[in-house]
Amino acid sequence: MSVENFSPLKNFKQDLPASVVVFLVALPLCLGVAMASGAPLFSGIIAGAIGGIVIGMISKSPLSVSGPAAGLTVIVLSAIQSLPTYETFLLSVFIAGLIQIVLGTMKAGVIGDFIPSSVIKGMLASIGIILILKQIPHLVGYDKDYEGDFAFSQPDGENTFSELWHLFDSHFTMGAVVIGLLSLGFLFWWDAIAPKRKGILKLIPGPLVVVLLGVVLNASFQTVAPDFVITSEHLVNIPVPESISSFLGQFKMMSLDGLSNPKVWSIAFTIGLVASIESLLSLEAVDRIDPYKRNSPPNRELIAQGIGNMLNGLFGGMPVTSVIVRSSANVSSGAKTSASTIAHGVLLIAFSALIPSILNLIPLAALAAVLIATGYKLAKPSLFISEKNKGLSHIIPFVITIVAILLTDLLIGVLIGIFIGGAFVLIENYKSAVTVVSNEENTYLVRIRKDLSFVHKYELKKVLSELPDQSKVWINLSSIGFVDLDNAEILNDFLATAHFRGIKVEVKLPENKSVANHINIPKSEI
């Protein structure tokens, strides 16, 4: 498909339905992350709008969506509590953006290229499972914890699983149960009949239908079933400004008074590094699920994220990253270009300014159904079967990554997954690089079939030391394209001392001259 077919301007109408879905997914998450971080609620909306509009325009990623991330919640909460004012914290956000621009300029985006595919897929599946587990309480009207809470251990001493257990000893909000289950059932049915939908039905996003359905049902409960009415604590809660001046008053300006405060700088470096890593992880994951298999430039993404965070510091928004949940909703909704990302940012700020009271009629149960459906698409059973069929070297890092993220958080879980995945890479590379064949005439062929890295040192040294004295040895190096200096030294030591053991050696060097130059064949053996 040509580049022209991926132009955001040409695909705006096609991507608009996806932007509505991303908006509905982002709205509660922006508010929830802001609440959990101890920041003003509107700061989450500002961050979501800047992440969508500004980063969406600068980044070259067609499907990645940026906004306030749950992974930064603990860092942001601690930072806001430790600094004199929220305006001082905004200075840290601004500096963090500058750091990200520097990282992008220094080509630090290559980090994402070293993450095994099994770990990336495990990360996506774990996010899907977490979405389902965390949204089940909201689906039935148990809204004790904030929307956007993805951490295993919660501030109230509970965790993901114990919170589910508490559902059995609490009173469900029956109106939320009805709306949540109907919404969830509709979304799965809507996706199932997708191939049969024609005309305008193909353009209508299912999440928009369930949100409207939730609002209408809750309004009808007031006359049909008053006991089922969902009250304000189970609805979206956006600040409602009384005037234009009060709306503009929700934007904050950073304070330069903290420039001499070392705490401001340490927080900035922490946010800059963690936000960059999370963005690169998300970018790599989104590229994996892009149906057109496009590759997004990671260094450009870091620069875009940096500019976005600088603007958040200037206008009162929270720090942002590329976010998997919103991005995967974007992909599954059929988005093709960054037009959907940009449009969702416009919807966030426009609706929050013009119709916040209408948005506050949306039941959280309906939005929970949207997020659960998104989670299912990330963690489909077919994904587990596919990884299992690839063998132990894929399924084990995949499962361990999922479990680690479920029980810790995104960064720690991914690091554990990378460690396990790296161990399997080493094991695969260690497998028999050196083979020995002999005949009855005390002649031995030592064939090296793989490139020699540090993991092969023991194997190579063992094979050469066990060759019998007074033998004739042929060493075939023709198949290798790389030998590290340690292995080259082992070979050279053997070649230099073989005559002391009565061993006659002949060597077939590789065609790669840079490798051959590392092998020193004694003149007597040439």
Q: At residue 39, does pLDDT exceed 50?
A: yes
Break the chain down into helix, strand, coil percent, rounded to 5: 65, 5, 25
Q: Average of pLDDT values for 486-504?
A: 89
Stronger pLDDT, 409 or 379, i.e. the higher one? 379
Least confident span in 49-58, 207-216, 415-424, 476-485: 476-485
Q: How far is it, in rounded angstroms, from Cα 106 to Cα 390?
A: 36
Q: Which two tokens stand for residue 273?
A: 């590094």
Q: Average of pLDDT values for 175-199?
A: 92
CA angle 89, 249, 360 (to 5 degrees): 100
Q: Give 228's pLDDT tier (boundaries 50, 70, 90).
A: very high
Q: Within a 13 Å sphere around the CA of 310, how many CA atoms are in the beta-carbon half?
A: 14
Residue (of 37, 38, 100, 112) closest to 70 by Cα position: 37
Q: Average of pLDDT values for 59-64?
A: 95
Q: Give 526's pLDDT tier (boundaries 50, 70, 90).
A: very low
Residue (of 172, 186, 184, 211) closest to 26 by Cα position: 211
Contacts of 213 (CB under 8 A, 6+ apart): 179, 182, 183, 186, 366
Q: How far is it, in rounded angstroms, from Cα 414 to Cα 277?
A: 11
Q: Which CATH class is domain 434-525?
A: alpha beta
**Contact 87/80 with Cβ under 8 angstroms?**
no
Q: Which two tokens stand for residue 196?
A: 């049969």
Q: Give 431's pLDDT tier (boundaries 50, 70, 90).
A: low
Q: What DSSP designation does 67 have?
A: E
Q: At residue 217, does pLDDT exceed 70?
A: yes
Contacts of 346 (CB under 8 A, 6+ apart): 49, 52, 53
> Tokens 């809204």 map to which residue?
143
508: exposed, middle or buried (C-beta count within 10 Å: 0-12, 13-18, 19+)?
Answer: exposed
pLDDT the model gives residue 5: 64
**Contact 327/124 with Cβ under 8 angstroms?**
no
Q: What DSSP designation does 83 have?
A: S
- State the DSSP string of 452-519: B-GGGHHHHHHHHHTSPTT-EEEEE-TT-S-B-HHHHHHHHHHHHHGGGGT-EEEEE--S-HHHHTT-
Q: At residue 2, does pLDDT exceed 60?
A: no
- Alpha helices by DSSP H, listed for 292-391, are 298-315, 324-332, 339-354, 356-359, 364-378, 381-389
Domain chopping of the chain, boundaries: 21-383, 434-525
pLDDT > 70: percent of the chain: 95
**Contact 96/369 with Cβ under 8 angstroms?**
no
Stronger pLDDT, 253 or 1, i.e. the higher one? 253
Other beta carbons within 10 angstroms of residue 468's beta carbon come to: 12
List the end-to-end C-alpha distance of the chain, in Å, as a whole number: 56
Q: Give 1's pLDDT tier (boundaries 50, 70, 90).
A: very low
Provide the sign of the torsion angle of the four alpha carbons 70, 72, 77, 80, taken in this order. negative
Residue (of 491, 483, 481) closest to 454 by Cα position: 483
Residue (of 45, 14, 8) closest to 356 by Cα position: 45
Q: Average of pLDDT values for 22-29?
A: 94
- State the DSSP string of 254-316: --GGGGG-HHHHHHHHHHHHHHHHHHHHHHHHHHHH-TT-----HHHHHHHHHHHHHHHHHHT
Q: At residue 286, does pLDDT exceed 80?
A: yes
Q: At residue 156, does pLDDT exceed 90?
A: no
pLDDT > 90: percent of the chain: 59
Q: Which two tokens stand for residue 181?
A: 């289950």
Residue (of 340, 280, 422) closest to 14 by Cα position: 340
